[in-house]
Structure 1
Amino acid sequence: MNHRIGIIDIGSNSIRLVIYEVLHSGEHRVLHEKKYAARLSQRVSPDGTITKENIDTIIPVLLSYQDICSAYDVLHIRAAATAAIRNAANSEEITAWIRAATGLTVELISGEDEGRLGFLGVRESIPLQDGYIIDIGGGSTEITLFLNREYRASLSIPYGAVNSHARYGTADYWRSETVQGFKHSILTALKDEDWLLAHPNLPLVGLGGTVRALAKMVQKRQAYSLPLMHGYMISKEEIQSFYDTLPYIPYDQRKKTPGLSKDRTDLIIPGVILLQTIYELLRSTHYVVSGAGLRDGLFYEPLHRQFPQFMDQDVLYKSVHNALAFDSLAPQEELDQVYSLMKRLHTTLIGQGQTQDERIIYAVSMLYRIGERVHHHRASSHSMYWLMNKGMWGLSHRETVISAMICDYHKNRTPKQIQDHLDILTPADVDKIHQIGSLLKLARALYSGGKAIHRVDMQKTDDALHLQLNCSREPSVERVELAEVKKDIEKAWKLSLKWSLSLSSTC
Structure 2
Amino acid sequence: MKRIGLIDIGSNTIRLVIFECSYSSGLNELQNIKTPARLSQYLTDDKVMKQEGIDILVDTLTSFKKVAEKFSVDKLVPAATAAIRQSTNLKQIVKEVKDKANLEIQIIPEEDEAFYGFYAATHTLNIVNGMTVDIGGGSTEVTYFEDKTLQESVSFPFGVVTLEKMFFENKDHNDKSAIKKCEKFVKEQFESKKWIKDKGVPIIGIGGSARNNARIHQALHDYPIAGVHGYDMYQKDLEEVLYVLKNASKSELKDLDGLSRDRIDIIMPSAIVFNALFEISHASHFTFSRKGLREGVAMTMLKQDFPKLFNKDKVAPDALRFLANEYHINPSNGRQRMKLGELLLNQLNDKIDLNISDSDKALFKEALYLYYLGSYIDADSSSQHTYYIIANSSINGLSHKERVKLALLASFKNKSLLKYYVKDTAWFKDSEIEQIQKLGGIIKFAHALNVSNTDCVTTLQLQEEKEDYELIVKYVTDPIAEAYQSERQKKHLEKLLSKKLYIQFTKG
TM score, norm. by length of structure 1: 0.92
Separation of aligned partners in 2, 1:4 and 1:369: 31
What is the aligned partner in structure 2 of residue 439 from structure 1? 442
1:102 aligned partner, one-letter code = A
Separation of aligned partners in 2, 1:121 and 1:159: 22
Deviates more, 1:219-228 or 1:118-127: 219-228
Separation of aligned partners in 2, 1:375 and 1:132: 43
How many Å apart are 1:239 and its aligned residue? Answer: 1.0
Whether contact under 8 Å (2:383, 2:413) holds in the other structure is: no
Mapping for residues 262-341 of structure 1, pairs under 5 Å: 262-312=261-311, 314-325=314-325, 327-341=326-340
Deviates more, 1:108-117 or 1:88-97: 88-97
Mapping for residues 457-472 of structure 1, pairs under 5 Å: 457-459=461-463, 466-472=470-476
Mapping for residues 17-28 of structure 1, pairs under 5 Å: 17-23=16-22, 27-28=26-27
Q: Which of 383, 392, 395 matches 2:395?
A: 392
What residue ranges of structure 2 are gaps of 5+ in the alignment? Answer: none
How many Å apart are 1:232 and its aligned residue? Answer: 0.6
> 1:33 is paired with a residue of what secondary structure?
strand
Q: Which of 353, 356, 361 matches 2:359?
A: 356
How many Å apart are 1:495 and its aligned residue? Answer: 5.1
Whether contact under 8 Å (2:343, 2:460) holds in the other structure is: no
Flag the 1:89–1:462 CA change in 2: closer, same or farther, 3 A: farther
Separation of aligned partners in 2, 1:68 and 1:460: 66
Q: Which of 427, 432, 448 matches 2:430?
A: 427
What is the aligned partner in structure 2 of residue 103 from structure 1? 102
What is the aligned partner in structure 1 of residue 47 from structure 2? 48
What is the aligned partner in structure 1 of residue 38 from structure 2? 39
Flag the 1:329–1:167 CA change in 2: closer, same or farther, 3 A: same
Separation of aligned partners in 1, 2:6 and 2:441: 44
Mapping for residues 138-157 of structure 1, pairs under 5 Å: 138-157=137-156
Whether contact under 8 Å (1:62, 1:102) holds in the other structure is: yes
How many Å apart are 1:493 and its aligned residue? Answer: 6.2
Q: CA offsets per residue over residues 428-459 of structure 1, 9 Å max, x none?
A: 33123212211221111111232332222235
Flag the 1:194–1:462 CA change in 2: closer, same or farther, 3 A: farther
How many Å apart are 1:315 and its aligned residue? Answer: 0.1
Whether contact under 8 Å (1:130, 1:146) holds in the other structure is: yes
1:479 aligned partner, one-letter code = A
What is the aligned partner in structure 2 of residue 212 from structure 1? 211
How many Å apart are 1:346 and its aligned residue? Answer: 2.0
Whether contact under 8 Å (2:173, 2:268) holds in the other structure is: no
Flag the 1:72–1:346 CA change in 2: closer, same or farther, 3 A: same
1:87 aligned partner, one-letter code = Q
Flag the 1:437–1:45 CA change in 2: closer, same or farther, 3 A: same
Separation of aligned partners in 1, 2:467 and 2:225: 38
What residue ranges of structure 1 are gaps of 5+ in the alignment? Answer: none
| Aligned residues with identical type, % of pairs | 26
How many Å apart are 1:353 and its aligned residue? Answer: 4.6
Separation of aligned partners in 2, 1:375 and 1:305: 39
What is the aligned partner in structure 2 of residue 234 from structure 1? 233
Matched, 1:174 2:177: no
> 1:306 is paired with a residue of what secondary structure?
coil
How many Å apart are 1:248 and its aligned residue? Answer: 5.0
> 2:431 is paired with a residue of what secondary structure?
helix
Deviates more, 1:457-466 or 1:107-116: 457-466
Flag the 1:463–1:50 CA change in 2: closer, same or farther, 3 A: farther
Separation of aligned partners in 1, 2:374 and 2:344: 25
Separation of aligned partners in 1, 2:252 and 2:337: 55
1:499 aligned partner, one-letter code = I
How many Å apart are 1:24 and its aligned residue? Answer: 5.6
What is the aligned partner in structure 1 of residue 82 from structure 2? 83
Whether contact under 8 Å (2:216, 2:241) holds in the other structure is: no
Separation of aligned partners in 2, 1:26 and 1:452: 29
Q: Which of 451, 456, 461 matches 2:460?
A: 456
What is the aligned partner in structure 2 of residue 402 from structure 1? 405
Separation of aligned partners in 2, 1:349 and 1:467: 11
How many Å apart are 1:382 and its aligned residue? Answer: 2.1
Give the paired residue count: 500
Flag the 1:430–1:464 CA change in 2: closer, same or farther, 3 A: farther
Whether contact under 8 Å (2:413, 2:444) holds in the other structure is: no
Whether contact under 8 Å (2:217, 2:241) holds in the other structure is: no
How many Å apart are 1:161 and its aligned residue? Answer: 1.1
Separation of aligned partners in 2, 1:495 and 1:216: 49
How many Å apart are 1:47 and its aligned residue? Answer: 2.5
Separation of aligned partners in 1, 2:464 and 2:155: 58
> 1:142 is paired with a residue of what secondary structure?
strand
Whether contact under 8 Å (1:27, 1:322) holds in the other structure is: yes
> 1:57 is paired with a residue of what secondary structure?
helix
Whether contact under 8 Å (1:28, 1:322) holds in the other structure is: no
1:300 aligned partner, one-letter code = M
How many Å apart are 1:294 and its aligned residue? Answer: 0.5
Q: CA offsets per residue over residues 103-130 of structure 1, 9 Å max, x none?
A: 2221111222111100111011101110
1:355 aligned partner, one-letter code = D
Mapping for residues 128-143 of structure 1, pairs under 5 Å: 128-143=127-142
> 1:501 is paired with a residue of what secondary structure?
strand
> 1:305 is paired with a residue of what secondary structure?
coil
1:78 aligned partner, one-letter code = V
How many Å apart are 1:335 and its aligned residue? Answer: 0.6
How many Å apart are 1:367 and its aligned residue? Answer: 2.2
